Structure 1
């Protein structure tokens, strides 16, 4: 794997993506770093939000670069917002899905991935011989996801790419009587659709989940909800799923990035319905 959490602390995280060592803000990391200052000083790129969202560069800024996570490759770049194009903490989520599909010998699942970003989860699922509908409101992110799919030799008929407001898309899918074997969703705290539609997690998540319920087959395999919004703990997500889906088997936990040198870094929470 080409990713490593080297250390964290002082509201920063120090990571290695392939050949590059990168420091980025991380408000939750309020502890002190475990590694020495000299090690932290050996970075390639450092991003600061307090300095007009600027990157400090010790090497020439690459146009993009390739990083491998599990058995998948992804194109990354240093964005103006401090993002690189992947959330490495999500690997534990899509690895569980991959293993479930393979271990239970599930064939040709129809899976809906909402807020799909640059396609990591969609690609991982498509490579299990599932059919994925990838929905994201951003055309640039969807084009980036398509590049990642090509990088992983994913067949074109395995992923249906949709650029749309998630809520509008779900309402149309309900009217079409479409159904899915599984749904994955990673809603933002706040988002805008292609036509300036507004998504606010505090007012829209519950409706979003009820729409997902209508789209799941009676014998659906799983639904995975992940969330990075502060205060939306695993118990909050559990309460929502219990209210919407009733008495189902729910597995929930923090989303952590583990480090051999430092503390595990909490990056949000997830709750998953396993419909065995």
Structure 2
């Protein structure tokens, strides 16, 4: 079961037409109460912190390396001087669009493609990718801490579903805390990276299913099979493609995805967490969608933004808050 990329049975895969034909469930009952706006803030954790930001850039510390990457929301001037910003290990240059391609420049010395990092007690590989990402989205730390606390505080074994799971850090956090985890991502490269991270931390025996598949097809099949999960994390991209060319468009497909996610929540579920990264929308758009989706289920929906606060060179000096993502989270209260 462990260290295996699970493949669904071909005859049980819904076709694109079948997926499109699954109608939204007509919900009744009251919408859950709301908590808005909620700002979930991180000052960093483990081997990561945001040193400074400004002029459309951010200066970050990832383990031993100082990294400069584009950040369109950093409209202000940097707090630290050029002598700090120029003494860095890696700079991403190229397309400033979130999913745009570019290249890394290494001012001090040539660096290897990967290096070890640690967050919340989980070891994993950082990697300089052509899409400016380095293998972890540190703003998610606040969700991972919440999930870890839920798992550790619950006496019964929990099942966690991590959709668009990327390099598996959240899956490893959940499994190390005691959950049985199903990790889904459409990229074989990301699944391979996630398994490398599992091996790096010597966590090979943790109960994780690594599944390379289109997320929508997977949850539709789970719904038909009657499989249920206690915590669902979903961090969908604005646009993406499945392993067989399936197209994902956030604004077109998110209502159905959340609708199916509600159906596969267990009766005693502890949370459904949605993060929307780098989209032009208000958190109210996902907030009201989540409330409509969870109509009649009780609980509460809390929505707002994930922010990372600058922490200075020492990692302990609070500065300005940099907004990174919108989120909506349903919890049973």
Q: CA deviation at 1:155?
A: 4.1
- CA–CA distance in structure 2, aligned partners of residues 93 and 182 of structure 1: 11
Q: How does 1:198-213 map to 2 (within 5 A)?
A: 198-213=247-262
Q: How does 1:1-276 map to 2 (within 5 A)?
A: 1-50=46-95, 53-58=102-107, 59-102=109-152, 104-246=153-295, 247-261=298-312, 262-276=319-333
Q: CA deviation at 1:157?
A: 5.0
Q: TM-score, normalised by structure 2?
A: 0.79
Range with greater deviation from structure 2 (174-183 or 47-56) = 47-56
- CA–CA distance in structure 1, aligned partners of residues 247 and 320 of structure 2: 36
- CA–CA distance in structure 2, aligned partners of residues 155 and 44 of structure 1: 32
Rg larger in 1 or in 2? 2
- CA–CA distance in structure 1, aligned partners of residues 221 and 47 of structure 2: 40
**Structure 1 unaligned blocks of 5 or more:** none
Q: CA deviation at 1:140?
A: 0.6
Please tell me whether the aligned partners of residues 120 and 173 of structure 2 are also in contact (alpha carbons under 8 angstroms): no
Q: Secondary structure at the match of 1:257?
A: strand
Q: CA deviation at 1:149?
A: 1.4
Q: CA deviation at 1:153?
A: 2.7
Q: Secondary structure at the match of 2:150?
A: helix
- CA–CA distance in structure 2, aligned partners of residues 213 and 106 of structure 1: 23
Q: CA deviation at 1:50?
A: 4.7
Residue matched to 2:33: none
Q: CA deviation at 1:169?
A: 0.8
- CA–CA distance in structure 1, aligned partners of residues 311 and 205 of structure 2: 38
- CA–CA distance in structure 2, aligned partners of residues 156 and 55 of structure 1: 35
**Structure 2 unaligned blocks of 5 or more:** 1-45, 313-318
- CA–CA distance in structure 2, aligned partners of residues 39 and 157 of structure 1: 41
Residue matched to 2:20: none
State how many pairs are aligned: 275
Summarize deviations over 1:164-206 as a string: whole Å, max 9, x none.
0011111111111111111110010000000010000010000
Q: CA deviation at 1:253?
A: 2.4
Please tell me whether the aligned partners of residues 107 and 130 of structure 1 are also in contact (alpha carbons under 8 angstroms): no
How large is the Cα RMSD of the aligned pairs? 1.5
Q: CA deviation at 1:217?
A: 1.3
Summarize deviations over 1:14-62 as a string: whole Å, max 9, x none.
0011111110111111111111111101111101125971222122121
